[in-house]
Structure 1
Amino acid sequence: MNIPTCGYSCKSPANVTANDFVFSGLNKVGNTSNILKAAVTPAFDAQFAGVNGLGISIARLDLEPGFVSSDDKVYIIKTLKKGDVMVFPQGLLHFQVNVGGTQALMFASFSSANPGIQILPFALFKSDFPTELITQTTLLDPAQVKKLKAVLGGSGSLRHY
């Protein structure tokens, strides 16, 4: 049995079916009724067995108007139209903003069967990082950090470490 670096075992060829190479999860609109007004539907190896070991995957991103993620430096500000394609270098922090009046749909492809997704607000504020640590690294005041932790489900109080 082959074991790819992603940790998912490959199926025996005798057990492979056509269904292993078809994923229908990207045809459904994601639930955007959350604080970020966005939904990510992954088709990574955990959801789509056919990409296991291929070094590729895809995800669907539904955005309500006004979604903002994170960024460190602005390289390009570009308004995309239906059918346009844009690339981001691997690991580069980036953001998308839906400036239209209706929900937007995007598809992202990855050069990994299990790329992972890191959404900065959740990484910081749905964590158990101490509030004091977040205030020191983001320059937000403790009240703002506590409010964001309360909204996103984080814990970690103001304390010395």
Structure 2
Amino acid sequence: MEGGQIVVAISLLALAFSFATASDPNHLQDFCRAINDAHNSVFVNGRFCNDPKLDEAEDFFFSGLNMPGKTSNQLGLKVTPAIVEQIPGLNTPGISLARIDFAPNGLNPPHTHPHATEILVVLEGTLYVGFVTSSPDDRHISKVLNPGDVFIFPISLVHFQFNIGNTNAVAFAGLSTQNPGVITIPNAVFGSKPPINPDVLAKAFHLDNNVVKHLQSRFWKNNN
């Protein structure tokens, strides 16, 4: 390869790397409170924005994370989010929060947040948590957490939390986006509407078709 071609190739690789690693640009205003009215507003970061001069304290406020969530469901779990839907002022800052309540034996089933890394801190109880790395390794990394312990779930990786104690457990999760999104694996695989062809799932999971159909008939509740 001639010298000029090498320079061009290196320049293109450097440019591609810069696109792949670039962070979000700096904000050009303090905040951009989300609204549902498209009239006389600006569309930023997936939301229409209010005129900042009209924003008030309530736009940046949410109350209730001190209240235990109801865990009387099949998973023994309640996630109380504080994301842009609950706090309009979260539009553009790039953070959000959730309270997670677990009954004894309660489970936050394997799921992913396609838009966010999660940091979890345990306030009460004992949680067994873990995530699985990308293929081809598919390595399971797990840990038992006690009050005051912190654990990280990298962006988009499948992860879970399970209350292995005999008492209720409470944790708070911080997320690196205003709207982390969630894909709960059991819901997505066996509870999609319309359902995935059982032949596909039977082959993918090495199961009998009748087992797949039974799983698809179950009520999958999304608590995330």
Counterpart pick for 1:140 among 207, 212, 221: 207
Code of the residue aligned with 1:92 in structure 2: it is L
**Displacement of 1:77 after TM fit?**
2.6
**2:159 aligns to what SS in structure 1?**
coil
Q: Which residue of 1 aligns with 2:166?
A: 101
Aligned to 1:41: 80
Gaps of 5+ in 1: 155-161
1:55-134 alignment to 2 at 5 Å? 55-66=94-105, 67=107, 69-70=109-110, 72=132, 73-127=138-192, 128-134=195-201
Q: What are structure 2's unaligned runs of at least 5 residues?
A: 1-40, 111-130, 133-137
Higher relative strand content: 2
- Shift in Å, 1:13: 1.8
Q: TM-score, normalised by structure 2?
A: 0.61
Q: Which 4+ stretches in 1 moved above 6 angstroms? A: none
- CA separation of 1:145/1:68 partners in 2, compared to 1, >3 Å: closer, same or farther? farther
1:15 Cα deviation from its structure 2 partner? 2.4
- Cα distance change of structure 1 residues 140 and 31 upon mapping to structure 2, 3 Å threshold: farther
Contact 2:77–2:108, Cα closer than 8 Å, also in 1: no
TM-score normalised according to structure 1 size = 0.83
1:33-72 per-residue CA deviation (whole Å, 9 max, x = no partner) reads 2222212121111121121111111111112233262354
Please tell me whether the aligned partners of residues 125 and 152 of structure 1 are also in contact (alpha carbons under 8 angstroms). no
Q: How far, CA to CA, are the matches of 2:78 and 2:88 in structure 1?
A: 22
Structure 1 138/94 Cα, relative in aligned 2: closer, same or farther at 3 Å?
A: same
Is the contact between residue 186 and residue 220 of structure 2 (CA under 8 Å) also seen in structure 1?
no
Q: 1:64 touches 1:102 (CA, 8 Å); kept in 2?
A: yes
Alignment of 1:9-24 (within 5 A): 9-24=48-63
Instruction: Specify the structure having the higher radius of gyration (Cα).
Output: 2
Seq. identity, % = 40
